[in-house]
Chain A
Amino acid sequence: MARIGVFVCWCGENIARNVDVQAIAAAAAEEPGVACGVAYKYMCSDPGQTLIGEKIAAERLDGIVIASCSPHMHLKTFRKTAQRQGLNPYLVEMANIREHCSWVHHDREQATAKALDLIRMAVAKVRRDQALEPIRVPVTRRALVIGGGVAGIQAALDIADAGYQVVMVEREPSIGGKMAGLSETFPTLDCSQCILTPRMVDVAQHPNIKLYTCSEVESVDGFLGNFKVTIRKRARYVDIAKCTGCGQCWNACPSKKNLSQFDYGMGTRTAIYVPFPQAVPARPVIDPAACIRLTKGKCGICAKKCQAGAILFEDHDELVSEDVGAVVVATGYQLYQIGRPEGDDKLSGYGEYGYGRYPDVIDSLQFERLVSASGPSGGELRRPSDGQVPKTVVFVSCVGSRDNAKGLSYCSKICCMVNAKHTMLYKHKVHDGQAHVFYMDIRAGGKNYDEFVRRAIEQDGAHYHRGRVSKITEENGRLIVRGVDTLAGEPLTIAADMVVLASAIRPAERVEELAQKLNVGYDEFGFLSESHPKLRPVETNAAGVFVCGVCQGPKDIPESVAQASAAAGKVLVMFSHENLSREPEIARVNETTCAACFACRRACPYHAIDQAEIRDRGGKLIKRTARVNPGLCMGCGTCVAVCPSKSADLDGFTEQQIYAMLECLA
């Protein structure tokens, strides 16, 4: 006969307010198979857990039910409690009488009745739990970092410095991400490239880092500790091993008027190009859409000029395979595409700001390039339309952010600081210029951030107007910005030479595709989902896959770097063990009764079921059967549902357990 212990938590008064915890502890004790029923104020606390441990020993319990909060909260906690007392941690179940009961039902009688039902179900379940042992899995101690921006670079360096190999995959021809294109960074006004490029070089030269640029992750197979990643190396058309970076090719290239992606369209480049002088690798790439040889079959001057014979017009995409044990996703962001025709359907708005219509209405990343010393105008701020130096520049906050109606509902976090920075950069370049900022709020919560904004206003003379901009039009070569100053209570119109829109930041393009390959969740905006917003911000629900940087949510550089190190830390925890433990709540097949129809094999999302043969000692085939690979099974139970003979079952959620739980509700 079972000896189950039922422990009912008051949770302070979170549960006790609406559920009669004493009564249900007493009633639970009367249930068949229950040896004791105990109520306590805080089960998860130290004395609470000690109480559980004492009862396990004193009452010789062979299973426990904790009636308290959600298992997502504390199931692991209580499993450890049991383990410390020598009780198998998988003989622990929880009844969620808080999130699913006391917090949502305020009729005490009903809530108490439901709580008792939930406890009965948990008792029925735990009575049929099996003692399970974690599955040991060897781990490949190599990491994959997807994305070569500042976050990816930080994570890669941390892991590589710890002595493990890192494979970094970057979509663009160079690493560096958005930070490489910035002019200066807040709140210190450091030269962005000056602080980033040494780390980029570290990555390139690190003996433990293998860098793939112009590459993307094609597919990911396997599981925690044992991922097999297929990487698509896109055709670069240049052999970077032979290339010396001498520049003869791009100096000779006749296809010159291509918009530069690195300059966000503010400048041009040749068809064969290095994205920026400090690129890593500092080797060119050919844009196949702009190259005359690749599109029309003519020219080929670069190949003639190249002394190293590094031009490869016949280059093609290549698929390579890498085995890794952990994946860090650091794919960064893009800006909300305002009013551009190819933008997202559900995000189309702000055409009234004239972006795309008036060349002098630009977004913040474009402004960074215009003021950047390595930018298209060599650091002199000249406006795109006529090259004149703008004397009045308006910066508009919250374009696309914080807007439920036609944008994104969230705050992009960095734009207030970016605007302040831009007003200061502008003032430093154009001493007689006047910066105006239309803002809703000022969000400057970081270290020295508020002081920075004050500097922009008090020392660099930026005019801040609290209000939104309704419309931007052009009259006589000037941009008429119509807005409102809510503090003064009046509409405000400014005639500007240039307008900079602080557009919302969004996750990078096609990140959802990547997330699905990795089995990582994402929210409605595409930001990758962390396991827990407060307590596990860099892990995902896909074991062995971690996130850092803006791909997880809007944040600035210090936070991205901190998260990157955090993710690296998690990877290093994984790598500190020779073997990893896998949760043993996985499927198993009763090989005696299996009819070998292999419906389970077809259905399994992880290809975790194999065809196996059972032979006698003479080698004669007795029968064939399906067999679950415990290293691959993730415990979803799809196989159980499709099995016609119900030979497949799922430890921790067996057919017997579910039926027993239902029966006790009859």
Chain B
Amino acid sequence: MTMLDELHQTCRRLLEEGSVKVVIGYAQSAPDEPAFPVFIDDVADVGQLVWNEWCLANLTKYLLRKDIRALGKPAIIVKGCDERALLVLERESQIDRAEMVVIGMACPGMGQPPQAVCGGCDVHQPRFCDITIGEAAAGDAADTRYAELDAFLKKTPAERMAYWRDELSRCVKCYACRQACPLCYCERCIVDKNRPTAIDTSATLKGNFAWQITRAFHLAGRCVGCDQCTRACPAGIDLRLLNLTTAKAAEAHFAYRAGMDRQAEPVIGGYSEQDQESFIR
């Protein structure tokens, strides 16, 4: 049986026995196009679900939406990277695992041609799902995980600043990055706050820098590297680099990677008396 067949069979069963009211999964309108999310509540529609290298999106974002929650207890289809987001959301009291069925799909890598970022993945096989379909080699890319960032850091500070001035000049403050990210769930985002205005909302360099610094820092120790933000950005800004920075810092300094260990304490909000402080006089 193929993974897709197994998926269809599982979803039909879950809907028929009433364990879930809706399945959140992937569908396509044409074979070679990126898959879009579907919300299947009728057994007859389960055949719409697809599973292939076009299933790029991170569907966990939909678990927090009120209108989706109103549909009832969901089954959600996740890849290993998406599952990491589930762990972070659970730790941050945003979801209750008892209120959903998580179907994990073994994933060899997404994208046609295969995405570079998937080459550095070490969670091809989901680890904490209720139902797991397929098997993939776990992958261990510890040495290449931050290769892109390491290459970037070879530039001088002035070169880096010039690079970001260029990149962020294209930002139009559409906030697609925020909307796409499953970990950006604040109903009233800090950028929408105007008393005081912490972040200039206009699409000037000042506002763009402030926004991107804030978002990247709010993801410190939380970003799971699903890359939704980079894919969603209409201006093609390399948001991944910023997220890799804080992810690398969290791992290097605190041995922490978001969404890998269900018991680990989050990085921000905790501390150790041994935290290094060579830069503090």
Contacts and interface: CB of A to CB of B under 8 A. Distances in A.
Interface of A: 592-593, 595-600, 602-603, 611, 624, 642, 644-647, 655-656, 659-660
A602 B269 contact: yes
Interface in B181-236: 185-190, 193, 195-198, 218
B268 A599 contact: yes
Given A602-B269, A644-B190, A644-B218, A597 B196 contact: no
Contact of A603 (B186, B198, B218, B269): B269
Given A597-B92, A656-B196, A642 B268 contact: yes
A644 B198 contact: no
Nearest to B88: A597
B92 A645 contact: no
B188 A645 contact: yes
A624 B190 contact: no
Nearest to A639: B269
B269 A646 contact: no
A592 B192 CA distance: 14
A76 to B, nearest CB: 28
A647 B188 CA distance: 9
Contacts of B198: 646, 655, 659
7 contacts: A595-B186, A596-B94, A597-B185, A599-B92, A599-B268, A624-B93, A644-B190
A644 B214 CA distance: 9
A659 B93 contact: no
Interface bracket on B: 20 to 34
Given A642-B269, A644-B218, A597 B93 contact: yes
Contacts of B269: 599-600, 602-603, 642
B113 interface: no
A593 B187 contact: yes
Nearest to B268: A642
A655 B196 contact: yes
B270 A646 contact: no
Contact of B94 (A597, A646, A647): A597
Contacts of B218: 644
Interface in B145-196: 185-190, 193, 195-196
Contacts, number: 55
Nearest to A600: B269
A142 to B, nearest CB: 33
A656 B249 CA distance: 31
A632 B188 CA distance: 27
Contacts of A595: 94, 185-187
- Interface SS of B by simple majority: loop
Contacts of B185: 595, 597
Contacts of A660: 196
A602 B270 contact: yes
B104 interface: no
A644 B266 CA distance: 14
A646 B268 contact: no
A642 B269 CA distance: 7
Nearest to A602: B269
Contacts of B270: 602-603
Contacts of B190: 644-646
A603 B195 CA distance: 24
Interface in B250-281: 265-266, 268-270
A27 to B, nearest CB: 25
A598 B186 contact: no
Contacts of A642: 268-269
A659 B210 CA distance: 14
Contacts of B193: 593, 645-646
B188 A602 contact: no
A39 to B, nearest CB: 32
A659 B197 CA distance: 8
A419 to B, nearest CB: 42
Which 5 A-B pairs give the minimum distances between C-beta atoms?
A: A593-B188, A602-B269, A659-B196, A645-B186, A595-B186
Nearest to B219: A644
A126 to B, nearest CB: 16
Contacts of A598: 92-93
A655 B94 CA distance: 26
Nearest to B265: A602
A613 to B, nearest CB: 12
A596 B93 contact: yes
A602 to B, nearest CB: 4
A63 B185 CA distance: 39
Contacts of A659: 196-198
A642 to B, nearest CB: 5
B95 to A, nearest CB: 11
A642 B266 CA distance: 12
Nearest to B64: A595
A592 B193 CA distance: 13
Interface string B46-83: 00000000000000000000000000000000000000
A173 B218 CA distance: 54
Contacts of B187: 593, 595, 645
A593 B186 CA distance: 8
A598 B266 CA distance: 11
Given A595-B186, A644-B218, A660-B196, A602 B266 contact: yes
Given A593-B187, A596-B93, A602-B269, 16 more contacts: A593-B193, A595-B94, A595-B187, A599-B266, A602-B265, A602-B266, A602-B270, A603-B270, A624-B93, A642-B268, A645-B190, A646-B190, A655-B198, A656-B196, A659-B196, A659-B198
A124 to B, nearest CB: 11
B196 A644 contact: no
Contacts of A647: 188
B251 to A, nearest CB: 20
A401 B102 CA distance: 69
Contacts of A596: 93-94
A603 B268 CA distance: 8
Nearest to A663: B196
Contacts of A599: 92, 266, 268-269
Contacts of A600: 269
